[in-house]
Amino acid sequence: MTVARQPGLRAPVPLTAAHANEGLRGLTIKDVNKTFSVTRTSTLSALSGINMAIAPGSVVAVLGPSGCGKTTLLEIVCGLQLPDAGGKIELGGLDVTGRRGHFAYMPQRDALLPWRTALDNAVLGLELKGIVRKEARSQAQELFRIFNLAEFTHYYPKQLSIGMRQRVALLRTFLFPSTFMLLDEPFASLDAITRMNVHLWLLEMWERLERTVMLVTHDIDEAIFLADRVIVLSTHPGAIVLDIEVPLRRPRTLEATTTEAFLGAKRRLLDALGQQVRAFLPTD
Amino acid sequence: MAWQFVPTALGLQSYLFPTFTEVVAAFRGDESELISALWTTLIEATTGVVIGAMVGLVLGAVSYYIGPLRRGLLSILVVLNSTPQIGLAPVVVLFLGSGLESKIVLIAFVTSFTLLLYTLQGLDLVPREEERLLQSFGSAEPWIFVKLRLRRALPTIMSGLRYASSQAIILAIVVEIFSSNGGIGHLILLETSLAGYVVMWAAALEGAVAGLALFGLASLLEKRLTWWVG
């Protein structure tokens, strides 16, 4: 199922030849397990039996409490870690298990390098992919302009507010020559109001620049608001306990967060997550 | 200030403990000797530090990736640190004579191990998230080293450089006292034996100036390279 976009809303901006050529691709996660050895005799099962298929051009949220292996899953997908034997990651049919450079990855903290300006941080991925800095800068400049951040290009990270830093990090992720984005709790460090703003900003960017997004979060409202589909992971071991479609139309507006459809989805997710909490409550 | 008044106040022999103004006057009189001594010591220390720093940096970078090499070099460092460095002075002088070379080699040797240590410590300070980010791009390790690890290590490396600079002047002067044709230590020794205490004090003052100058240079470099810290 590919996501239905409202036609004629705004023209997509491919931005680089790399993005245009690659096109949107789907992701298949097959039989991914991950065990860590804690001591010489005992092991911890971080992920168990993860199987997922993500449609090109969709936004999928992976929801779960901290420690449920969400970050591990993202790292396995983008090749920073290997799954246990037998696990496979396929991007558009291509086996990319353990191979790096196919995904636009954004780690939990913004990881902006303090000695680089906002613009130079945004082009970091392009630069390391071999694109000449001047060319990379002009592409980035264009993106900064479209999203009203042009005046911040020469600021250094320490001069930027946390919301701004997240936006710059997101721009860096959008600029990376891959149409598949992996976001690891990108809004966790933002206060509620800034988070709302950055959500809308992200949705706007996603509308304009075609991408497939896999987003990890612990925030239920965020998952429902941003995604087409929400997958709930349990902890110890991390396994899929629920997989629902989000019944909200695009483009999403803040009003949608108070509709019956939104609350219905939220109820189902709370129920699935609530079972996690009950596992830790005292039993007497 | 204290230097000016304390000696006379304490009634010290003026030929043993000249006042500040008397010492400064010596610069007017014996300036060629004093200037050439300062210059010699500065050359020895600076050359030694620069060579040692480059060697230490390269060794640090290489042994960051090669575990056994790292462990081997660090154990040599432990042995070295336990030996008073001055004890190495006779060895270098024996092999390389009393000229500039022996001091430069010794200083470079000691500096390289200092910088090796500081480089390794600095390289270990890379935040995991930044490392993961660059790795996710699919970049080769040499690029990650240059664009990230080295930059992150610079503040630590620079403070090692500052430390090595102050060490270097002291080491240079001490070896010069032991055996030398020139330099501040040699001048101090010479003037002591000739009872030229004013010049001796002037030379000692120069030593302090030289130390400050080298330290100051290192600090300037640090500011330029690590302006983004804090």
Domains identified in chain A and CATH numbers: 55-103+179-279 (3.40.50.300), 109-177 (no CATH)
The answer, yes or no, to whether the previous bond of A237 is cis (omega within 30 of 0) is: yes
Does some domain include residue B92? yes
A9 by Cβ neighbours in 10 Å (0-12 / 13-18 / 19+) ranks as exposed
Name which of A79, A109, A115 is nearest B151 (Cβ-Cβ): A115
Q: What pLDDT digit, counting tens, does each position of B34-87 carry?
A: 788 888 888 989 999 999 999 999 999 999 999 899 999 989 888 887 877 777
Backbone dihedral angles phi then psi of residue B165, each to the nearest 5 degrees: -60, -45
Contact A128 B134 (CB under 8 A): yes
The closest alpha carbon to A87, from A56, A129, A142, A47, belongs to A47
Rounded distance, CA A12 to CA B114, Å? Answer: 56
What one-letter code names the amino acid at A228?
D
Does some domain include residue B9? no
Q: How far is CA A95 from CA A31, A79, A87, A91, in A?
A: 13, 11, 11, 6
B146 to chain A, any CB pair closer than 8 A? The answer is no
Across the beta sheet with A229-233, the strand order is A104-106, A180-184, A212-217, A59-63, A229-233, A240-245
Contact B129 A111 (CB under 8 A): yes
- Please report residues of B whose CB lies closer than 8 A to that of A125: 137
Q: What is the pLDDT of residue B120?
A: 95
Contact A114 B136 (CB under 8 A): no
- Please report residues of B whose CB lies closer than 8 A to that of A127: 147
Q: What pLDDT digit, counting tens, does each position of A155-190 carry?
A: 999 999 998 999 999 999 999 989 899 999 999 888
What confidence category does residue A43 fall into, taking pLDDT thresholds of 50, 70 and 90?
confident
Full-model pTM: 0.82
Mean pLDDT of A128-154: 89
Q: How many CB atoms lie within 10 A of CB B92?
A: 20
CA distance B230 to chain A (A): 9
Rounded distance, CA B155 to CA B151, Å? Answer: 8
CA distance B222 to chain A (A): 14
Residues 149-188 of B with CB under 8 A from A: 151
Reported for B194-198, long-range contacts at CB under 8 A and 24+ positions apart, including other chains, are: B195/B15, B197/B15, B197/B16, B197/B17, B197/B18, B198/B15, B198/B18, B198/B22, B198/B23, B198/B25, B198/B26
Cα A133 versus chain centre, distance: 26
- Please report residues of B whose CB lies closer than 8 A to that of A114: 228-229
- The answer to whether A4 and A16 are in contact (CB under 8 A) is no
Does some domain include residue B97? yes
| Mean pLDDT of the residues in chain A | 87
Does some domain include residue B8? no
B14 to chain A, any CB pair closer than 8 A? The answer is no
The closest alpha carbon to A26, from A179, A177, A170, belongs to A179
pLDDT at A22 over 80: no
pLDDT at A267 over 90: yes
Does some domain include residue B63? yes
Does some domain include residue B161? yes
- The answer to whether A90 and A30 are in contact (CB under 8 A) is yes
Does some domain include residue B99? yes
Rounded distance, CA A251 to CA A207, Å? Answer: 8
Contact B137 A125 (CB under 8 A): yes
Q: Which residue has the higher pLDDT, B124 or A67?
A: B124
- The answer to whether A169 and A112 are in contact (CB under 8 A) is yes
Does some domain include residue B134? yes
- Please report residues of B whose CB lies closer than 8 A to that of A107: 129, 132-133, 136
pLDDT at A243 over 70: yes
Structure tokens that stand for B25 in this block: 């006057």
Write out the H or E segment, with its range, that includes residue A91.
strand A88-91
Structure tokens that stand for A169 in this block: 């990090």
CA distance A165 to chain B (A): 14
Q: What is the pLDDT of residue B111?
A: 93
Number of domains observed in the structure of chain B: 1
Range of the domain at B102: 14-225
Mutate to test the interface with A, among B136, B147, B154 (most CBs of A within 10 A): B136
B132 to chain A, any CB pair closer than 8 A? The answer is yes
Q: Which residue has the higher pLDDT, A106 or B5?
A: A106
pLDDT at A1 over 50: no
Q: What is the pLDDT of residue B9?
A: 60
List chain B residues with pLDDT less than 70. 1-23, 26, 28-30, 230
Q: How far is CA B19 from CA A66, B10, B126, B159, B199, in A?
A: 71, 12, 52, 35, 12
Q: How many CB pairs under 8 A join A and B?
A: 57
Backbone dihedral angles phi then psi of residue B227, each to the nearest 5 degrees: -60, -20
Q: Which CATH number goes with the domain that contains B49?
A: 1.10.3720.10
Contact B129 A103 (CB under 8 A): no
Q: Rounding to the nearest 10 degrees, give the CA dihedral for residues A171, A121, A183, A139.
A: 30
State the sign of the Cα–Cα–Cα–Cα dihedral A140, A141, A144, A145. Answer: negative
DSSP letter for B146, please.
Answer: I
Q: What is the pLDDT of residue B95?
A: 84
B193 by Cβ neighbours in 10 Å (0-12 / 13-18 / 19+) ranks as exposed
- The answer to whether A203 and A226 are in contact (CB under 8 A) is yes
